[in-house]
Amino acid sequence: MFSISGIFITTFVSGLVAFLLHHSVPKIRDWFSIVIMGVIVYAVWELPVKANLLSFKLANYNLVFGNTEYGRLFALIVAVLGFFAILYSKDFMEGKPRLGYFYMAFFFSIGGMFGIVYSQDLISLFFFWEIMTWSSFLLVIYCCKEAQKIGLKYFVFSAIGAYSIMTAMVVLYSSIGSLQFADVFAGFGKMDFWSQLLVVVLLLMGFGVKSATMPLHVWAPGAYRITPSSFTAIFSGALSKMGIFGIGLTLFKIASATGFYPWVQEILAWIGALTALFATFYAVFATDAKTLLAYSSIGQLGYIVTGLAIGTPLSIAAALFLTVMHAIFKGMLFLATGAVYYRTGTTDMTKVSGLIRKMPYTFLTALFGIITVSGVPPLAGFSGKWMLYESLIQSNHYFLVVVIFFSSTAAFLYLYRYIFSLFLGQEEKETENVKEVPWLMRIPMLLLALATLVFGVAPGLLLHPVSAAMKYLGDFGVTYQTSVLFNEWGNKVDMLTVANTIGVVFIIVTIIITIKGYRSTRYVTTKDIHTSGEVPTENENLTYAVDFYKPFERALGSVLKASVDKIYNATGRILEQSFDYLRYVYTGNGQTYAMYVVLFLTILVVFSELIFGIKL
Amino acid sequence: MEINWLKVLGILITPVIAFIVGVTYGGLTRIITARIQNRFGPPVTQNFWDIVKLYSKKTNIQHGVMQHLAPVFAITASITTLYFVPVIRESTVFTNLSFQGDLIFLLYIMVFGSLGMALGVGQSGNPNGAIGVSRGLSQMVGYEIPFVLAIVAIMIQFKTTNLNDLIAMQNNFNHWIIFQSPFAFLAAILAFLGMMGYAPFDVVVAPAEIASGPPSEFGGKYLGLMMTSRSIFTFAKLTLFTDIFLGGAGDFVTLVIKTFALYMIPVLTGIVNPRFRTEQSIRFFWAWPTVFGILAVLIVVW
């Protein structure tokens, strides 16, 4: 009963309706958006899997839309996360200006993403890609003064990405004569070497911008920081996955037909690993919670790129598993950070501390989030990490696995800093009156936290759609049971046993330690601590928040000074300077231009023999 | 489903044995340290009585739920790690759950406790505690590289990630991995020094600088639970290293000899060394231990 055109029309029309409602009956605007988004989630879930659901001719091009298992996985991420984000937005965005604009851009970007994952030809993919970029750009510049500069950066990089994709399309069309996926995938192997190489590099560049793969990541930290948190969850959780979606298609459907495929794989795998490594370093030394999460997001996408690039069944399963997990945990963490912002008005980690007792639910979400990101069992992050490591080792990428493992361990640093600075530490006077966020904001966070636990105990639930999506990408099969993971050597890890063991021991010991001496155990404030005999005064600052990882910074030395941003800035400066010289030429003065004309004519006359072959 | 009562027995008594062995090792360490410093030292049972005393304290203070649960996280990680390490080879009772998990899982579950402790320390609000955690995490990033290199070298050499398979392959004295892959052992044992946290790598507690740091806000039953956890965890780590490098153990006497020999490496290093600064400690691990690790991998590859 649900059609693909229905989904498109509902999404885009709802965007316009929400905009109009804001200006006529703003009271029902939020609930209208929530209900519509709920319907869309249901529609995406029910949409039948068929390669050709809708096709029509536009200016001689066949535009085809269909639902593949691969696209469905991404569409579900977008829809579910979109629903949670819009549920969260009702209270989060309340009282903010230009909400009609916000909801419209929100729905348009969601619709753009649906268009990307459902399109079956490059024209419609590009069309919706641009819609997604534009609408997310509108949300990047929604906020504040800084928005101009950061928005420009986002725009420039998006434009670079879009034009790479477009150039690749032109090359493809000129040699294949069609832009439908079916024809492109079939005909690509017959193209000549240089156009193959060009297309693959351009496509990977174009999609790499959105997935913030280094060195194309510089737009991400700023853009993630200044978008409203309810949209940042989508931005990092779903929108960046469109890059992954494209990289997946490029690698397995296009590049795999070429002779240089192994090279592409190796190089891309290393790019992913180095992205993970450096993004982690930057995250460790970030002072703003959202910047930290932005770098973390870049790093996590690096793992996914590496997983896709390795191209063994287990590594692809790991990559797609992590794709879904990243949407869940980064959604959680951005929503939790948004909750902190909602109550305290800042996300600066040196300014907020000790919120755990004031915002226990938000803390719980953040806790589940960081445990999942770090990959500690029994939550779901572990399954993804485990599959990735095993696949790297078993495909003989020994040093790659060490780099990945290293960045994964270093991730503990920033994750601890995140949760410590915001929720733990000294309880300060400034945050005395902070309360927990409203239920409508808590529910999405807690549901996502629950999802990490469920998928952690039973990763098979998630591997089911993941392996279906892998079937679309190629002949990949992966062995799993509902709660048991296997590697390629046949070793296994049983998550149900793990979760049971941890759960049972944890509960037993908790009961014992709580009952034992229950009456004699009392609560003391965070000012009442062991300070080696000195009594801290009332206003003494006992918070450890600035330069949190100074020793680590010293140990790393000059590694951190390397920054791609500097290279871009230098390029920008050089260009600016050279344009500056042009200004001397175009002075804007009529007399100067008249002089140019005279000079030009003089040159023509003097060199006429040389140029025209006639002597005046 | 049929219940294997021998397995149940193993699940119940393994933590007890681990606790007894761990506490005794702790007592012996104190005596050995004392003798080297020309003192007599406390009796072997001193650590045990300390723990009993801590559990029977009348008053306990806590700073909130997370701190209350921190020692629980720690002991959960210790016991879970212990269950997934085969204690005695080919024994029904003492292999516990080791067939259900593998080495990479062990690497991650071992962090579970530290993470919980770090969160609890964070809630206490003690700045020294937070400094200690920051140092500890930084140091972990240091020693994880050589350790992972060593583990990867072994995994690719023997094409398995399961500990039971590794033990089965070391069925003979000269098949021990310490002889088959000496560089991996070197890298791993140097990383092990950092893991155990004795000098020169005791930057986390550093009594003279940050007043013991992380544990300073824990007293009474909490400290008791932490000491229990530490004893069990020490035993679990030693058994893990024995299983990986020394071919496991067929009976308890062998196990005690092998684990004690391993345990003396960090202890004796610790007695005669001063403390590194944190960045020195990290750089130490990124220098020679990492080189050994890379050598171990390269040797296996060729």
Q: Which is nearest to A138 in space by CA: A168, A109, A178?
A: A109
Cβ of A412 within 8 Å of Cβ of B115? The answer is yes
Reported as half-sphere exposure (CB side, CA atoms, 13 A), residue B34 has a value of: 12
Give the whole-angstrom CA distance, residue A113 versus residue A238: 8
| Interacting residues of B149 by C-beta distance below 8 A, sequence separation 6+ | A402, B184, B187, B290, B292, B293, B294, B296, B297
Each residue's pLDDT tens digit, A228-281: 888 888 888 888 889 999 998 888 888 888 878 888 888 889 999 988 888 888
Lowest mean pLDDT among A329-338, A546-555, B37-46: A546-555
Each residue's pLDDT tens digit, B218-242: 888 888 888 899 899 999 999 988 8
Can you spell out the DSSP letters for B164-215? HHHHHHT-SGGG-HHHHSHHHHHHHHHHHHHHHT-TTS-TTT-HHHHTTSGG
CB of A402 less than 8 A from some CB of B = yes
3-state secondary structure (DSSP) of residue A119:
strand
Residue A390: list chain B partners with CB under 8 A.
104, 161
pLDDT at B19 over 70: yes
CB of A396 less than 8 A from some CB of B = yes
Each residue's pLDDT tens digit, A91-124: 888 877 788 888 888 889 999 999 898 888 888 8
pLDDT of residue A485: 78
CB of A529 less than 8 A from some CB of B = yes
Give the whole-angstrom CA distance, residue A553 versus residue A236: 27
Stronger pLDDT, A600 or B233, i.e. the higher one: B233
Stronger pLDDT, A337 or A180, i.e. the higher one: A337
pLDDT of residue A150: 81
CB-closest option in A417, A502, A526 to B124: A526
Each residue's pLDDT tens digit, A426-459: 887 777 788 888 888 889 989 999 999 888 888 8
Cβ of A416 within 8 Å of Cβ of B133? The answer is yes
CB-closest option in A374, A491, A517 to B161: A491
Q: Pick left, alpha or beta for residue A425 (phi over 0 → left; psi -120 to 50 → alpha; otherwise beta).
A: left
pLDDT at A494 over 60: yes
What does the block give as tokens for A74? 């991404």
Q: Which domain holds residue B197?
A: 5-301
Phi, psi torsion values for A370, nearest 5 degrees: -70, -35
Confidence label for B128 from pLDDT (cuts 50, 70 and 90): confident
ipTM for the predicted complex comes to 0.90
Residue B140: list chain A partners with CB under 8 A.
409, 412
Determine the average pLDDT of the residues in B188-202.
Answer: 87
Confidence label for A612 from pLDDT (cuts 50, 70 and 90): low
Confidence label for A553 from pLDDT (cuts 50, 70 and 90): confident
Q: Which is nearest to A381 in space by CA: A315, A457, A316, A310?
A: A457
Q: Which is nearest to B54 in space by CA: A577, A516, A265?
A: A516
Give the whole-angstrom CA distance, residue B60 versus residue A356: 21
pLDDT of residue A611: 65
pLDDT of residue A564: 67
The whole-chain average pLDDT of chain A stands at 84
Stronger pLDDT, A396 or A303, i.e. the higher one: A303
Confidence label for B175 from pLDDT (cuts 50, 70 and 90): confident
Integer angstrom CA distances of residue A289 from A255, A366, A425, B259: 38, 12, 16, 44
Determine the average pLDDT of the residues in A47-60.
Answer: 76
Residue B97: list chain A partners with CB under 8 A.
497, 501
pLDDT at A616 over 60: no
pLDDT of residue A461: 87
CB of A387 less than 8 A from some CB of B = no
Contact by Cβ (8 Å): B238, B263: yes
Give the whole-angstrom CA distance, residue B159 versus residue A138: 52
The whole-chain average pLDDT of chain B stands at 85
Helix (H) or strand (E) holding A65: strand A61-67
Contact by Cβ (8 Å): A462, A323: no
pLDDT of residue B1: 59
- Count Cβ–Cβ pairs < 8 Å, chain A vs chain B: 225
Q: Where are the beta strands (DSSP E) in A204-265?
A: none
The total domain count for chain B is: 1
CA A401 to chain centre: 22
What does the block give as tokens for A81? 């996360």
Q: Which is nearest to A448 in space by CA: A186, A195, A87, A16?
A: A87
| Interacting residues of B229 by C-beta distance below 8 A, sequence separation 6+ | B71, B74, B75, B77, B78, B113
Percent above pLDDT 90 for chain B: 8
Cβ of B221 within 8 Å of Cβ of A516? The answer is yes
Percent above pLDDT 70 for chain A: 97
What are residue A486's DSSP bridge partners? A492
CB of A491 less than 8 A from some CB of B = yes
pLDDT at A1 over 60: no
Helix (H) or strand (E) holding A486: strand A484-486
pLDDT of residue A615: 59
Give the whole-angstrom CA distance, residue B192 versus residue A346: 41
Residue B102: list chain A partners with CB under 8 A.
487, 491-493
On the 0-12 / 13-18 / 19+ scale of CB atoms within 10 A, B51 is: buried
Give the whole-angstrom CA distance, residue A151 versus residue A573: 19
pLDDT of residue A142: 81
Lowest mean pLDDT among A301-315, A318-332, A491-505, B231-245: A491-505
Q: How far apart are the first and last CA of chain A?
A: 82
CB of A371 less than 8 A from some CB of B = yes
Each residue's pLDDT tens digit, A375-423: 888 888 888 888 888 888 888 888 888 888 888 888 888 999 898 888 8
Each residue's pLDDT tens digit, B268-297: 888 888 888 888 888 889 888 999 998 988
Q: Sort strands A521-523 and A50-58 into parallel, antiparallel or unpaired.
A: unpaired
**Tokens 């080792």 -> residue:** A393
Give the whole-angstrom CA distance, residue A105 versus residue A101: 6
pLDDT of residue A592: 80
Shortest distance between the Cα of B37 and any Cα of chain A, in A, equals 27
Contact by Cβ (8 Å): B146, B292: yes
CB of A228 less than 8 A from some CB of B = no
Cβ of A555 within 8 Å of Cβ of B138? The answer is yes
CB-closest option in A487, A542, A552 to B282: A552
Cβ of A510 within 8 Å of Cβ of B286? The answer is no
pLDDT of residue A614: 63
pLDDT at A340 over 80: yes
3-state secondary structure (DSSP) of residue A179:
coil
Each residue's pLDDT tens digit, A126-180: 889 988 888 888 888 887 777 778 888 888 888 888 888 888 888 888 888 888 8
What does the block give as tokens for B48? 């045990």
Give the whole-angstrom CA distance, residue A375 versus residue A398: 20
**Tokens 């986390």 -> residue:** B204
Percent above pLDDT 70 for chain B: 99
Q: Which is nearest to A283 in space by CA: A373, A381, A415, A146?
A: A415
What does the block give as tokens for B296? 């171990």
Burial pattern B11-35, b for ≥16 Cβ within 10 A else e, equals beebbebbbebbbbbbbbbbbeeee
In one-letter notation, the amino acid at residue B290 is T
What does the block give as tokens for A512? 């014992």
Residue A402: list chain B partners with CB under 8 A.
145, 148-149, 152
CB-closest option in A396, A493, A542 to B125: A542
Question: How many beta carbons lie within 10 A of that of residue A604, not counting itself?
Answer: 12
Q: A251: which DSSP letter? A: I
Confidence label for B120 from pLDDT (cuts 50, 70 and 90): confident
**Tokens 């020094």 -> residue:** B193
Give the whole-angstrom CA distance, residue A285 versus residue A226: 19
Residue B109: list chain A partners with CB under 8 A.
376-377, 498
Confidence label for A502 from pLDDT (cuts 50, 70 and 90): confident
